[in-house]
Structure 1
Amino acid sequence: MHSAQPTTKLFYGWLVVAAAFVVTFVGFGSAYTFSSFVESLQRDFGASRGSVSLVFSLAGFLYFGLGVISGPLADRWGARKLAALGMALVGLGLMLASQAQTIVQVYAAYGIGIGAGVGCAYVPTLGAVQRWFVKRRGFASGLAVSGIGVGTLVMPPLATWLIASLGWRDAYLVLGILAVITGVGSSLFIADDPRRHGTGPDGDPLGSMSSAPVRQGVSIGEAVRTPRFAGLYAACLISAFGVFVPFVHLVPFAVDHHVTSALAVLLLGMIGVGSTAGRFVLGSIADRIGRDTFLIAMYVGMAVSLAIWAIAGGFWSLTIFALLFGVFYGGWVAILPAVVTDHFGGRNVGGIIGILYTSVAIGTLLGPSAAGFAFDVSHSYFIPVAISAAANVAAAFIAMATLRTDSPIASVAVP
């Protein structure tokens, strides 16, 4: 009877993927609602547009940078607890923002709630997904993080509708309650080890070759001292300086090129559409062509799309850029956790991903700000966008060189 369970019951790993989808949907969707509140916050608190723009960089630095803490904690305590705590912080931050009396209080609630909340939940959740899959790891990772793209599409319009219907304070309150209910509720379905559910990775029977290495792999200290980790870190760091520039500067760039504000905002939605497609579709392709090769292709694709942005001017050329960039950006985000697990094993994957993502945090903090200062000097985005494209070309070459180094898990039986 027990031997029939893996074929007659839904593989629990897909429930973990679904839970991760909801966690990323709630966390990043809530983060990207901030643009919907900017006009109301400016009006009620007299805030400048410049002071508002820094919030994205600071929150992004927190939710990528805190993975260095939450990842190892999840490896020790379990991803479920960290994800639930993170979703609770997201909801609490939104609810506190509804009671803010100054713009500084809004920033604090948003930064602590969204930044720390997503920072607690994101890396542990992705690390948990990796342990449930081997053969379809890229596809599962893509489905899990596609919640980011869908959340980017759904949550800002929902926030805009709530503001129009209830006012910005009650809108924050409703979003906070929804975040707690859906985020914490979905976190309860996250599990770290398929063996506790009677299967190996991919639903294979216990005792098969693919079911053995769930918790095997190198230690965090061993991982970070390898040339492969150094290469991955350098590629992510250099790439991230340019990757997040469009999220801050694409709309003002479009407006500077005589695109109406309403259409300019839609361009961010096009990045969301492209990234959702990239995460859903490209993950399975990565499993077939090789995940390392796929990662290099994503760097090249982001470089090409950013080069298109550098010479674009009208709405339709910017739409082409936004869609293409979204596809490759989504594929990059989807494949990174799977590549880390391939190289270093699943035993400490949360901690290793967390350390790797400090590179993305630094890029998120510095890249968009540097692009803004470059624009202030030159009154043009051409130089920062061209540098962003060149950075991703460099990242592709670094990733290719990394493949020539020895595998850290060559002596560990991880498929």
Structure 2
Amino acid sequence: MGFTFVMQFIAMGLVYYSFGVYLKPLAEALETSRFSISLTLSIEAIVVACVAPMIARLYAEVQIRRMLTLGTCALAFGLMSMSLIQETWQLYVVFGGGVALGLVSLTAIPSNLLLANWFDRRRGLAMGISQFGISISAAVLVPVVTWLFLTLGWRTAFVVCGAAAGLVLVPMIWLFAVKTPEEVGLSPDGTFSAKAPKAPEPVTWTFRQALATRDVWLITLIVGPCNLGIASVLLSLPAYATDLGISEMRASSVVALTAVFGAIAKIVLGMLADRLNLKLVVALAVLFQVLGVVLLLLNTSYEGMLVAAVVFGFGYGGTAPLWAILLANQFGRESFPTIMGANMPMLMPFGLIALPLTNWIFEVQGSYHSAYVSLIGWYVLAALALALLPVRNQPRQQGQLA
């Protein structure tokens, strides 16, 4: 858990959560609109969706330390190369392409694969603790990156971020990355195995079979709208707050507080997923996101935004671990990388439109208010899909397509 915590902390913090910090400086330096800069995340979403099935297959077949090292190199060199860009198209290539390869190679697929392999009875808690690193990265790294940008300038700041990522992750990968407990004579949940170590069962699901299951589509319609809401709010929040007259550092503290409660929610909702009805726990996460958006619309003061941050943070924090738990619960750990790799392209359209749509509405209306209002409809879609999803006590077997 500790290893996947750090890996996701660095990758998600520097690539995803800090993008809101990058938005204004890059738009000013490259002399373009926020909408044009936000298209970088759409390109990133397309790249992630296109390569995710291949990355998932490689993680199922190739030595995990090699894959993680390659991903770290892509992330580190991509971030450092950001210091050299002069045109918007270069931003799309470097960040939307190269950095995206590092992101997909270091976050959901390898982290959840390791946790699905290593944990069974306490899988929800394990995924919650691991993904605590995702949310806490916003609480820690958004203020740090903001300070680096203000102190060193954005070009030097990108070099520092990329170098730090490589120096921290590569040694950890070669010290701690072990794909399955059977490789070191253990069983899931850390118990000693009475049998000799053996290789895991072969993956039973194909990409095409996954696309033919109703469960995968319903999970997509639950998680996708939540991801859209998270991206729309978190990544526009620094600009939204500063447009209201709140200082840059205070705006970063709103994002940080959102992330702190998102981190807490990952552990709390992960524990609840081990003990309560899984659909009820997912519904709770969606409800808190809706309430957070409503509070954000009703409160435009710094103090009011802090209250909204607490509520929205608790809702958004559960989305990532609950997504992984739903997939592992429905399909089993042997098929997990294939199913997750298939599901990521299905989620791509939500990430593709999230921030660009939000900033397009801003460009048209001069405010983020209508963009936030529209999120309510997406959350209604997620609730309807959740109501239709049959949560299973045993993983779905190959051939059960309905």
What interval of TM-score do these two structures reach, taking the shorter chain for normalisation?
0.7 to 0.9
CA distance in 1, matches of 2:242, 2:161: 30
Structure 2 residue aligned with 1:235:
222
Give the fraction of aligned pairs with identical amino acids, expressed as a percent.
Answer: 23
Note closer, same or farther for the CA distance 1:141–1:61 as it changes in structure 2 (3 Å cut): farther
Q: What are the within-5 Å matches in structure 2 for residues 83-232 of structure 1?
A: 83-122=68-107, 123-163=109-149, 166-188=152-174, 189-206=176-193, 215=201, 218-220=204-206, 221-232=208-219
Displacement of 1:46: 3.6
Structure 2 residue aligned with 1:22:
6
Displacement of 1:151: 2.0
CA distance in 1, matches of 2:352, 2:336: 24
Name the SS of the counterpart of 2:84 in structure 1: coil
Structure 1 residue aligned with 2:302:
315
Query: Cα deviations across residues 84-105 of structure 1 (Å, max 9, x unaligned)?
Result: 2111100011222233344543
CA distance in 1, matches of 2:91, 2:295: 36
Note closer, same or farther for the CA distance 1:148–1:383 as it changes in structure 2 (3 Å cut): same
1:345 aligns with 2:371: no
1:74 aligns with 2:55: no
Q: Which moved more, 1:247-256 or 1:87-96?
A: 247-256
Report if the CA contact (8 A) 2:330-2:391 is conserved: no
Return 5+ residue gaps in structure 2 as ranges: none
Return 5+ residue gaps in structure 1 as ranges: 1-16
Count of aligned residue pairs for this structure pair: 394
Report if the CA contact (8 A) 1:79-1:125 is conserved: no
Report if the CA contact (8 A) 2:219-2:323 is conserved: no
Name the SS of the counterpart of 1:409 in structure 2: coil
Displacement of 1:207: 5.1
Structure 1 residue aligned with 2:384:
397
Note closer, same or farther for the CA distance 1:362–1:79 as it changes in structure 2 (3 Å cut): farther
Note closer, same or farther for the CA distance 1:385–1:106 as it changes in structure 2 (3 Å cut): closer
Note closer, same or farther for the CA distance 1:216–1:323 as it changes in structure 2 (3 Å cut): farther
Match among 234, 237, 262 for residue 247 of structure 1: 234
CA distance in 2, matches of 1:253, 1:173: 27
> Which residue identity lines up with residue 125 of structure 1 in the other structure?
S
Displacement of 1:342: 1.1
1:363 aligns with 2:347: no
CA distance in 1, matches of 2:35, 2:398: 52
Query: Cα deviations across residues 323-355 of structure 1 (Å, max 9, x unaligned)?
Result: 221122111112211221111011121121122
CA distance in 2, matches of 1:313, 1:166: 31
CA distance in 2, matches of 1:341, 1:214: 15
Note closer, same or farther for the CA distance 1:170–1:375 as it changes in structure 2 (3 Å cut): closer
Note closer, same or farther for the CA distance 1:49–1:234 as it changes in structure 2 (3 Å cut): closer
Q: Which moved more, 1:377-386 or 1:245-254?
A: 377-386
Report if the CA contact (8 A) 2:20-2:235 is conserved: no
CA distance in 1, matches of 2:121, 2:6: 23
> Which residue identity lines up with residue 118 of structure 2 in the other structure?
W
The TM-score normalised by the length of structure 1 is: 0.84
Q: Which moved more, 1:403-412 or 1:237-246?
A: 403-412
> Which residue identity lines up with residue 154 of structure 1 in the other structure?
V
CA distance in 1, matches of 2:359, 2:96: 21
CA distance in 2, matches of 1:379, 1:44: 21
- RMSD of aligned C-alpha atoms? 3.0
CA distance in 2, matches of 1:405, 1:285: 17
Report if the CA contact (8 A) 2:143-2:249 is conserved: no
> Which residue identity lines up with residue 81 of structure 1 in the other structure?
R
Note closer, same or farther for the CA distance 1:162–1:239 as it changes in structure 2 (3 Å cut): closer
Displacement of 1:190: 2.0
Match among 53, 59, 75 for residue 38 of structure 2: 53
